[in-house]
Amino acid sequence: MRPTLAIFALLGLLATTDATVFFKEQFLDGDGWKTRWAVSKHKSDYGQWKLTAGKFYGDPEKDKGLQTSQDAHFYSISSRFEPFSNEGKDLVVQFTVKHEQQIDCGGGYVKLFPADLNQADMHGDSKYYIMFGPDICGYGTKKVHVIFNYKGQNRLIKKEVKARDDEHTHLYTLIVRPDQTYEVKVNNEKLEWGSLEVDWDFLPPKTIKDPDAKKPEDWDDRVTIDDPEDAKPEDWDKSENIPDPDAKKPEDWDEEMDGEWEPPMIPNPEYKGEWKPKEIDNPNYKGNWVHPEIDNPDYTPDSTIYKFDNIGVIGLDLWQVKSGTIFDNFIITDDVKAADDFAKETWGVTKGSEKKMREQQLEEERKQREEKSNTDNIKEEDKDAGRDHDGGDEDDEGLDEEGEEEEEEEENELELDEETADETSPLEEVDEDVPTKDEL
């Protein structure tokens, strides 16, 4: 038992030893990345890159990566490594992408270039071997590109691979094997897999339709036919519309002036539509005729579709409308397990904390919005109360003015009464010339 365990352990060690990591980048040495990555000078207005973990993260240092920093710009940057060929071995390309700006339109993919690439002149038309990663633009484009250059032509995958478009960090992995198969994984979930030859148009089809073959004239591919014994009922034919039996000629209808009166038409309740015989199974049905195929004389198998001989540069060649994407945790290797282990040590460790931090931020933002809304409501209520108070004072002043006017009116009335009383008083002055009773 022990020798067997020792053999397995040795085989595992050998497998680990044979694994080669051609490129790895985590941006853990501050500005040291600037010595490893070269910004293209093909255009003078390429967007600027900065090193940051972003607005939220799982670890402030481990999650630092290259971030696009200017809206509506092209970006072009690359890093060189020792050239290699993936002949006879797996090729694994893996990295993380974080669209924390809630991207609306922009690329998030990488390109693998030949070692002879002029990095200072890298641009959108520079020849590349592989293009892989997410591309998002509006609601219509949310896909993962998997493009291979084959004999000078860039060939796109025929399948639709969905990209993640939220604001969190996602892990993208491409595996290409010598048996001409592939896998595309997102967050370690296998989304697509299959044959390079089947899922890309690298080669002409193996077979084609026989140009000399034709469907026989007597080939009957009708599943059902009209029942020859079915007959239309004698009472079937009814008019679609009939005169309204309840309609009456208006009393003021003048036939000399209005012409002959005709009742309006209404749908016929007995109308049955066009008669069609019932269908029965076709006794002569032979099935769908299949065009026979022959070997395609233009097809030549190629067992080296997967192979690239001089891989030596990885680059980011992008356009972004809204900047803010962070690229990190790059690895290029010939060992799937090495890539898996690297993913667990990086993205696997920090993804949970990143999500938690973002949830806390969103909760705090929600509370702040709620507090602001409450404050605004209180201010509005205070304004309303102030307007009500001002209106009450005006009413009081109005009442005071009315009271004063009433008092003035009462005083005027009293004065008038006194004047009237003086004019109509029965006590008159005695005439001195008139003799009194005693004098008489």
Reading the chain (440 residues) residue by residue, the pLDDT tens digits are 445 544 444 444 444 457 899 999 999 999 999 999 999 999 999 999 999 999 999 999 999 999 999 999 999 999 999 999 999 999 999 999 999 999 999 999 999 999 999 999 999 999 999 999 999 999 889 999 999 999 999 999 999 999 999 999 999 999 999 999 999 999 999 999 999 999 999 999 999 999 999 999 999 999 999 999 999 998 888 888 999 999 998 988 888 888 999 999 999 998 989 999 999 999 999 999 999 999 999 999 999 999 999 999 999 999 999 999 999 999 999 999 999 999 999 999 999 999 999 999 999 999 999 988 888 888 887 787 777 666 555 555 554 555 555 556 666 655 555 554 444 444 344 344 444 444 43
The answer to the question of residue 144 being in a domain is yes
68: alpha, beta or left? (left if phi > 0; alpha if psi -120 to 50): beta
The answer to the question of residue 424 being in a domain is no
Is 388 assigned to a binding site? Answer: no
Is 328 assigned to a binding site? Answer: yes
pLDDT given at position 393: 54
pLDDT given at position 270: 87
The answer to the question of residue 8 being in a domain is no
pLDDT given at position 133: 98
CATH number at residue 133: 2.60.120.200
Residue 395 vs residues 108, 385, 404: alpha-carbon distances, Å:
69, 16, 14
Q: What is the DSSP letter of 277?
A: P
State the Cα–Cα distance between residues 197 and 302, nearest whole angstrom.
9
The answer to the question of residue 344 being in a domain is yes
Is 320 assigned to a binding site? Answer: no
The answer to the question of residue 394 being in a domain is no
Tokens 């002029």: give the residue.
Answer: 118
Is 182 assigned to a binding site? Answer: no
> Model-level pTM?
0.72
Domain hosting 41: range is: 18-200+304-363
Is 64 assigned to a binding site? Answer: yes
pLDDT tens by residue, 249-289: 898 888 888 899 999 999 999 898 999 999 999 999 999 99
pLDDT given at position 272: 87
Cα 318 → chain centroid: 19
Is 139 assigned to a binding site? Answer: no
Is 150 assigned to a binding site? Answer: no
The answer to the question of residue 421 being in a domain is no
Query: Under a CB-based contact definition with an 8 Å cutoff, are residues 138 and 105 in contact?
Result: yes
The answer to the question of residue 112 being in a domain is yes
Is 128 assigned to a binding site? Answer: yes
Is 379 assigned to a binding site? Answer: no
42: alpha, beta or left? (left if phi > 0; alpha if psi -120 to 50): alpha
pLDDT tens by residue, 69-82: 999 999 999 999 99
The answer to the question of residue 114 being in a domain is yes
State the Cα–Cα distance between residues 365 and 424, nearest whole angstrom.
89
pLDDT given at position 281: 96
Residue-wise burial string across 235-248, b where 16 or more C-beta atoms lie within 10 A, e elsewhere: eeeeeeeeeeeeee
pLDDT given at position 395: 53
pLDDT given at position 421: 45
Number of domains in the chain: 1
